Amino acid sequence: MNVLLVDIDSLRADHLGCYGYPRPTSPNIDALAERGWRFEGCYVSDAPCLPSRTALATGRFGFGNGVVAHGGRRAEPYGTSADRIQEPDPATRHWFHALERAGWRTASISSFASRHAAWWFLAGLRDWHSSGKDGMETADEVVDVAIDWLTRHGRDAPWCLHVNLWDPHTPYRAPVSQEVRRVPAPVWIDEQRLAAHRASFGPLSAQDPMAVWFPGQLAFERPGVPRELRTLADVAAWIDAYDDGVRFADEQLGRLLEHVGALGERDDTLIVATADHGENLGEHNLYGDHQTVDHPTTRVPWVMAHPSLGAPRAFGALHYQFDLGATVLQLLGVEVPPRWDARGAWPALREGRDEGRSELVLSQMAWSCQRSVRWEDWQLIRTYHAGLKDLPPVALYDVARDPHLVRDLSAEQPRVVSDGLARLEQWTAAQRARNPRGEDPMETVLAEGGPSLARGHEAWYAGRLRATGRADQVERMLAAGRAYGAG
């Protein structure tokens, strides 16, 4: 059996039709879900891009592999021990390596490794193509290369092809989709909340959007993408631009699937669609990025289709996204490396049982230092360093009833907060005990001054706040630029 893994950057699960979205953003992914399996409770263990894909490749939490951030020492894996030998340790073998050793021709069409200097992601790949554009390539460019690879190797089974599409990621630059625009953007915030967002602060917040923090990337933006969120019409236009990227990626996925079918490999290819993380579209006053460990940022799609799966199903149990890798290995009859944190779900799924994790602990160290616990209907978020954002030390949300995390219930539900904090402490202690170094990688990030993408901007940002009528927020912003509890 072949494997086609389609990895769409910044793709929120709840902006796909098969996950309940009202706009026609994803007809091809929806069609996969209609004939395959859809997982409702899939979350990345470590956000955003670099930690997430490292966790997927290694089958381990960032706590165990060392990669939790986008800069500093913890943007690199832990160093190897003195007894390292040439061959990779079978107990911690990377996902592609496990497949390659089992006889699959492995390939990746992605600029991820070069964009993030994540050379370990290439372990076990026989073929790798990078556009050289470091994530600024468009889905049609990527799919052209993938089609060429399939034309040359698609009949030489078995193979595993990873295809990485970036189009939902900022800066939004996909073509306008008139199909999507026929349904109005579901703007969930109101005028009062937008006014509060504009009075507040943070990287990529309503009054300090991408144009402020990444002016060099504006050349990639297209007309119609607002440079500041002033009105609800601007918010709608922002959502439009994001959804255009989702639709364009989905259309190009359709091209890719057509080619697999034309080769006669459709019935012998397991197709998996997922993402490295989601995207904030106003939640926590973040527009168009992935700076937190909240529900919209960490929940991702997991859709897979193959005739052997049987009847279409939707599963509601909780899973880490790296469980996907272990599940695929089990389905293919390949041994899951014993020291992986990932747990394959295939034995239960094969028997029709909807089994998963009782709880998930999720981490973010690139734009903020946060961990959260997701269990039952709850998500508790513990912030250790806000990364210049207006975030409380502890927050609690009922994600089933409040998916945009509007209402913090921590003051109303102290017992649930205590339960969540205890779960987080137990998980952290267990991970520290498993780590051969006995360390928590977040401590390294905090010792370096906090998340690398928010470091060093305090003085400049204080000046901007004063210049834009928010002088009253400067002290709070400066406090948010320090570790909570520090002096």
Place of tokens 């990669």: 67
Q: Which of 304, 300, 303 is nearest to 290 (CA)?
A: 300
For the chain, 487 residues long, give each residue's pLDDT as a single digit of tens.
999 999 999 999 999 999 999 999 999 999 999 999 999 999 999 999 999 999 999 999 999 999 999 999 999 999 877 777 777 788 889 999 999 999 999 999 999 999 999 999 999 999 999 999 989 999 999 999 999 999 999 999 899 999 999 999 999 999 999 999 999 999 999 999 999 999 999 999 999 988 888 877 665 678 888 989 999 999 999 999 999 999 999 999 999 999 999 999 999 999 999 999 999 999 999 998 899 999 999 999 999 999 999 899 999 999 999 999 999 999 999 999 999 999 999 999 999 899 999 999 999 999 999 999 999 999 999 999 999 999 999 999 999 999 999 999 999 999 999 999 999 999 999 999 998 788 899 999 999 999 999 999 999 999 999 999 999 999 999 999 999 864 3
- How confident is the model at residue 218, as a pLDDT? 60
Q: Under CATH, which architecture does the 2-358 domain have?
A: 3-Layer(aba) Sandwich (3.40)
- DSSP per-residue codes, 146-191: HHHHHHHHTTSSSEEEEEEE-TTSSSP-PPP-HHHHTS-------H
3-state secondary structure 354-402: CCCECCEEEEECCCCEEEEEEECCEEEEEEEECCCCCCCCEEEEECCCC
Output the CA torsion sign for 213, 195, 238, 115.
positive
Helix or strand run (H / E) with residue 280: strand 280-281
| In the chain, domain spans | 2-358
- How confident is the model at residue 332, as a pLDDT? 97
| Model confidence pTM above 0.75 | yes
- How confident is the model at residue 486, as a pLDDT? 44
